[in-house]
Amino acid sequence: MPPLTDEPELTQPADQCLPDGSLHPAARGWSRRPLLRCNLRGPWGRVKRWEYWCVTGADRAVSFVYADVDYLGLAGAMTFCSATKPERRSQHQTPASRGIALGERVDEGAYRLEHRKLDLEIVEEPKRTVLRAAFRDRRHGPVTVDLEVERPAGHESLNVLIPWSARRFQFTSKQNTRPARGLVGIGGHRWSFGAEEDAFGTLDHGRGIWPYTTRWNWGSASGTLAGRRIGIQLGGKWTEGTGFTENALCVDGRITKLGEELAWTYDWARPLTPWRVVAPQTGAVDLTLHPFHDKHSATKLLVLSTEVHQVFGHWVGTVRTDEGEAIPVQGLLGWAEESRSRW
């Protein structure tokens, strides 16, 4: 069994890279708020930048992606409701990431795409993030998204630098349990977020210099249970052997960092069967996701190929904070995924 990690908690701003593009030693660690300037310099094809948002509430979800993976630029939006089942999604790809540009800092920037098949924008403001999209679904007509995700004062997030080597590393900012509200229109129907039930936005902000072949797991959930605001952030595979993890709990806006590689059990060939995630040494996590929807995507373009099963469902089990408090989890809406990439 690998030992628990001993990751330093960062408290001061730093650059991600030194002038020669290698990892800045001061960037190694994790923090409760974004501190790094992601001044990436790396060989073409290895630098990856992205913003991924998912807003969940009741039985529905909306996700946005805006990414530059060097070979390719991606922008896309997806809506899903378990009551109506079909996804509505639109994605635009641009060779060599033409027209796609992402900034160096979390919680800053305005990212937009205007295309005949998809209009999309992600705008960071001091107290909120605005998410808007418009596209046309062939069966159901126009789809519009107009959401805002609050940035509460003092709300903590998981910000961690994963170092494979001095030349290959990834910074990720995972932010969950951020209150969300707004409307989604699909044809003549309207969904609301945050009007009659709690809704939350989750951010995956990534900036790094990656190896060519990678696999990762990601699990996430946000919700309110017994008056407590609970956020779950689970990772796997891609951090193994680095001495760092991207695992954390966010309870009532405060982060508990989990310095342990988690054990994931699921069936890639049958993604709608349960996914179990446990912390085998500390017992800080013992959770099972019961999926109801598989958002499957695959891309194959010469040197680039990716395939992802992202399954949405409800988490049940137990998590434990660093104060030793055991919190039962029952029916928390979220997702789990495995991604396999050559990129």
* CATH assignment of the domain containing 49: 2.40.370.10
Pair of tokens at residue 57 = 């509430």
- Does 2 reside within a domain? no
How confident is residue 301, by pLDDT bands cut at 50, 70 and 90?
confident
The whole-angstrom distance between residue 325's C-alpha and the CA centroid of its chain comes to: 26
Looking at 153-212, which runs of residues are DSSP E strands? 158-163, 169-186, 189-193, 199-209
How confident is residue 245, by pLDDT bands cut at 50, 70 and 90?
very high
pLDDT (average), residues 220-229: 96
Q: Please count the structural domains in the chain.
A: 1
How confident is residue 2, by pLDDT bands cut at 50, 70 and 90?
low
The pLDDT of residue 322: 86
- Does 7 reside within a domain? no
The pLDDT of residue 82: 80
- Does 27 reside within a domain? yes
The pLDDT of residue 235: 98
How confident is residue 1, by pLDDT bands cut at 50, 70 and 90?
low
Tell me which residue of 47, 49, 81, 48 sits closest to 63, measured CA to CA: 81
pLDDT (average), residues 268-292: 97
**In a 10 Å sphere around its CB, with 0-12 CB exposed, 13-18 middle and 19+ buried, how is residue 11 labelled?**
exposed
Residue 127's contacts (CB-CB under 8 Å, 6 or more residues apart) are: 150, 151
Residue corresponding to tokens 């030793």: 324
- Does 80 reside within a domain? yes
- Does 163 reside within a domain? yes
- Does 1 reside within a domain? no
Please tell me the pTM assigned to this model.
0.96
Percent of the chain at pLDDT above 70?
99
The pLDDT of residue 86: 77
Residue corresponding to tokens 């992600």: 122
- Does 176 reside within a domain? yes
pLDDT surpassing 90 at residue 249: yes
Task: Name beta bridge partners: 137.
Answer: 141
| Phi and psi at residue 27, to the nearest 5° | -90, -10
- CA dist 291 and 293 (Å) reads 6
- CA dist 94 and 12 (Å) reads 37
Pair of tokens at residue 94 = 């641009």
pLDDT surpassing 70 at residue 84: no
pLDDT (average), residues 292-313: 92
- CA dist 292 and 311 (Å) reads 7
How confident is residue 5, by pLDDT bands cut at 50, 70 and 90?
confident
The overall average pLDDT reported for the chain is 95
pLDDT surpassing 90 at residue 304: no
- Does 122 reside within a domain? yes
State which residues form the domain around 262. Answer: 14-342
Distances (CA, A) of 71 to 7, 98, 204, 303, 311: 33, 10, 20, 9, 27
The pLDDT of residue 3: 64
The pLDDT of residue 85: 63
